Structure 1
Amino acid sequence: GDILVEPFYKDLDFGTGGMRGIMGVGTNRINPYTLGLATQGLAVYAQQSIGRKDLKAAIAFDSRNNSKAFACKVAEVLSANGIHTYLFEDLRPTPELSFSVRELGCDFGIVLTASHNPKEYNGYKVYWNDGGQLIPPHDKGVIEEVRATRFKDIRWDANEALIETVGRDLDEKYTDMIAGLSLSNAGKTDLNIVFTALHGTSIISVPPALAKAGFTNVQLVEAQSTPNGNFPTVASPNPEESDALAMAVAQAEANGADLVIGCDPDTDRVGIAANDGTGKMQLLNGNDTAALLVHYILNAYKENGTLPSNGFTAATIVTTDLIADISAAYSIPCYRCLTGFKWIADIINRKPEEKFLVGGEESYGYLIGDAVRDKDAVASTVMIAEMAANAKAQGRTVLQQLEAIHREFGQYQERLISITKKGRTGAQEIADMMTTLRNDPPKTLAGSPVVIAIDHSNSTQTDLRSGATSSTELPASNVLQFITEAGDKVSA
Structure 2
Amino acid sequence: MSSDLAGHARSWLAQDPDPDTRAELEKLLESGDGDALRERFGSRLEFGTAGLRGELGAGPNRMNRVTVMRAAAGLARVLGPGKHVVIGYDARHKSDAFARDTAAVLTGAGLRASVLPGPLPTPVLAFAVRHLGADAGVTVTASHNPPRDNGYKVYWGDGSQIVPPVDAEISAAIDATGPVSELPLGSPGDPSWNELDDGVVAAYLKAVTALPIGGARELRVAYTPLHGVGGDTLARAFVAAGFDAPATVEAQAEPDPDFPTVAFPNPEEPGAMDLALELAERVGADLILANDPDADRCAVGVPLPGGGYRMLTGDEVGALLGEHVIRQTSGDDRLVATTIVSSSLLGKIAAEYGVRYAETLTGFKWIMKAGEGLLFGYEEALGYSVGSDLGLPVHDKDGIGAALTVAGIAARAKLEGRGLLDLLDDLARRHGLHATSQLSFRVADLSLITGAMARLRATPPARLGGREVETADDLSLGAGGLPPTDGVRYHLAGGARVVVRPSGTEPKLKCYLEVVVPVTGEVSAARARAVEDLDALKADLSEALGL
Asked if Structure 1 and Structure 2 have the same fold, meaning a TM-score greater than 0.5 normalized by the shorter chain, the answer is yes
Residues 1:73 and 2:106 aligned together: no
1:153 CA displacement = 8.0
Does the Cα contact within 8 Å between 2:147 and 2:259 map onto a contact in 1? yes
Q: CA RMSD in A?
A: 1.5
Query: Could you tell me which residue of structure 2 aligns to residue 363 of structure 1?
Result: 381
The amino acid of 1:140's aligned partner reads A
Query: Could you tell me which residue of structure 2 aligns to residue 420 of structure 1?
Result: 442
1:88 CA displacement = 1.2
Query: Could you tell me which residue of structure 1 aligns to residue 489 of structure 2?
Result: 481
Q: Which digits, 9 at most, give the CA deviation of each residue in 1:260-293, with x for residues without a partner?
A: 1000011111111101134311111100110111
Does the Cα contact within 8 Å between 1:77 and 1:154 map onto a contact in 2? no
1:231 CA displacement = 0.5
In structure 2, how many angstroms separate the alpha carbons of the residues matched to 1:110 and 1:260? 31
Query: Could you tell me which residue of structure 2 aligns to residue 468 of structure 1?
Result: none
Residues 1:112 and 2:140 aligned together: yes
Does the Cα contact within 8 Å between 1:276 and 1:397 map onto a contact in 2? no
The amino acid of 2:489's aligned partner reads Q
What is the DSSP-based 3-state SS (H/G/I as helix, E as strand, rest coil) of the residue aligned with 2:153? strand
Q: Which digits, 9 at most, give the CA deviation of each residue in 1:141-188, with x for residues without a partner?
A: 1122223323258625224312111131011110100111134112x1
Residues 1:82 and 2:110 aligned together: yes
What is the DSSP-based 3-state SS (H/G/I as helix, E as strand, rest coil) of the residue aligned with 1:76? helix
Query: Could you tell me which residue of structure 2 aligns to residue 466 of structure 1?
Result: none
Residues 1:309 and 2:328 aligned together: no
4+ runs deviating over 4 angstroms: none
The amino acid of 1:37's aligned partner reads R
What is the DSSP-based 3-state SS (H/G/I as helix, E as strand, rest coil) of the residue aligned with 1:481? strand
Does the Cα contact within 8 Å between 1:455 and 1:479 map onto a contact in 2? yes
The amino acid of 1:337's aligned partner reads T
The 3 A distance-change label for structure 1 pair 13 and 254 is: same
Query: Could you tell me which residue of structure 2 aligns to residue 449 of structure 1?
Result: 468
Query: Could you tell me which residue of structure 1 aligns to residue 362 of structure 2?
Result: 339
- The one of 427, 439, 455 aligned to 1:436: 455
How many residues are aligned here? 461
Query: Could you tell me which residue of structure 2 aligns to residue 34 of structure 1?
Result: 67
In structure 1, how many angstroms separate the alpha carbons of the residues matched to 2:180 and 2:240? 49
In structure 2, how many angstroms separate the alpha carbons of the residues matched to 1:154 and 1:371? 40
Does the Cα contact within 8 Å between 1:82 and 1:159 map onto a contact in 2? no
Does the Cα contact within 8 Å between 2:129 and 2:158 map onto a contact in 1? yes
Does the Cα contact within 8 Å between 1:261 and 1:271 map onto a contact in 2? yes
Does the Cα contact within 8 Å between 2:43 and 2:61 map onto a contact in 1? yes
Q: Which moved more, 1:405-414 or 1:274-283?
A: 274-283
Query: Could you tell me which residue of structure 2 aligns to residue 328 of structure 1?
Result: 351
What is the DSSP-based 3-state SS (H/G/I as helix, E as strand, rest coil) of the residue aligned with 2:495? coil
In structure 1, how many angstroms separate the alpha carbons of the residues matched to 2:224 and 2:235? 10
What is the DSSP-based 3-state SS (H/G/I as helix, E as strand, rest coil) of the residue aligned with 1:486? helix
Residues 1:319 and 2:349 aligned together: no
The amino acid of 2:385's aligned partner reads L
Does the Cα contact within 8 Å between 2:235 and 2:245 map onto a contact in 1? no
Query: Could you tell me which residue of structure 1 aligns to residue 399 of structure 2?
Result: 377
Unpaired stretches in structure 2, ≥5 consecutive residues: 1-33, 501-547
The amino acid of 1:320's aligned partner reads S
Query: Could you tell me which residue of structure 2 aligns to residue 64 of structure 1?
Result: 92
Does the Cα contact within 8 Å between 2:222 and 2:249 map onto a contact in 1? yes
Residues 1:225 and 2:257 aligned together: no
Sequence identity percentage: 36
1:242 CA displacement = 4.0
1:33 CA displacement = 0.5
The 3 A distance-change label for structure 1 pair 167 and 200 is: farther
Query: Could you tell me which residue of structure 2 aligns to residue 391 of structure 1?
Result: 413
1:345 CA displacement = 1.3
What is the DSSP-based 3-state SS (H/G/I as helix, E as strand, rest coil) of the residue aligned with 1:414? strand
1:3 CA displacement = 3.0
What is the DSSP-based 3-state SS (H/G/I as helix, E as strand, rest coil) of the residue aligned with 2:93? coil
Query: Could you tell me which residue of structure 2 aligns to residue 469 of structure 1?
Result: none
- The one of 37, 42, 47 aligned to 1:9: 42
Does the Cα contact within 8 Å between 1:274 and 1:281 map onto a contact in 2? yes
In structure 2, how many angstroms separate the alpha carbons of the residues matched to 1:290 and 1:228? 29
What is the DSSP-based 3-state SS (H/G/I as helix, E as strand, rest coil) of the residue aligned with 2:369? helix
Does the Cα contact within 8 Å between 2:85 and 2:111 map onto a contact in 1? yes
What is the DSSP-based 3-state SS (H/G/I as helix, E as strand, rest coil) of the residue aligned with 1:415? strand
Query: Could you tell me which residue of structure 1 aligns to residue 277 of structure 2?
Result: 249
TM-score (norm 2): 0.82
The amino acid of 2:428's aligned partner reads H
1:418 CA displacement = 2.3
- The one of 194, 200, 207 aligned to 1:164: 194
- The one of 407, 414, 422 aligned to 2:429: 407
Query: Could you tell me which residue of structure 2 aligns to residue 464 of structure 1?
Result: none
1:11 CA displacement = 1.4
What is the DSSP-based 3-state SS (H/G/I as helix, E as strand, rest coil) of the residue aligned with 2:434? coil
Does the Cα contact within 8 Å between 2:66 and 2:180 map onto a contact in 1? no
Bigger radius of gyration: 2
Q: Which moved more, 1:360-369 or 1:213-222?
A: 213-222
Does the Cα contact within 8 Å between 1:277 and 1:397 map onto a contact in 2? no
In structure 1, how many angstroms separate the alpha carbons of the residues matched to 2:187 and 2:262? 40
The 3 A distance-change label for structure 1 pair 120 and 372 is: same
Residues 1:288 and 2:322 aligned together: no
In structure 1, how many angstroms separate the alpha carbons of the residues matched to 2:365 and 2:197? 25
- The one of 168, 171, 175 aligned to 1:143: 171
Query: Could you tell me which residue of structure 2 aligns to residue 96 of structure 1?
Result: 124
Residues 1:198 and 2:226 aligned together: yes
Does the Cα contact within 8 Å between 1:358 and 1:368 map onto a contact in 2? yes
Q: Which digits, 9 at most, give the CA deviation of each residue in 1:27-86, with x for residues without a partner?
A: 100000011111111110122xxxxx1010001001211111111111111111111100
Q: Which digits, 9 at most, give the CA deviation of each residue in 1:431-458, with x for residues without a partner?
A: 3322222222222111222111112211
The 3 A distance-change label for structure 1 pair 154 and 389 is: farther
What is the DSSP-based 3-state SS (H/G/I as helix, E as strand, rest coil) of the residue aligned with 2:272? helix
In structure 2, how many angstroms separate the alpha carbons of the residues matched to 1:116 and 1:78? 27
- The one of 190, 206, 214 aligned to 1:176: 206
What is the DSSP-based 3-state SS (H/G/I as helix, E as strand, rest coil) of the residue aligned with 1:412? strand
Unpaired stretches in structure 1, ≥5 consecutive residues: 48-52, 461-471
TM-score (norm 1): 0.91
The amino acid of 1:454's aligned partner reads D
Name which structure has the greater RCO, CA cutoff 8 Å, separation 6+.
1
- The one of 125, 146, 150 aligned to 1:122: 150
What is the DSSP-based 3-state SS (H/G/I as helix, E as strand, rest coil) of the residue aligned with 2:418? coil
What is the DSSP-based 3-state SS (H/G/I as helix, E as strand, rest coil) of the residue aligned with 1:223? helix
1:483 CA displacement = 1.1
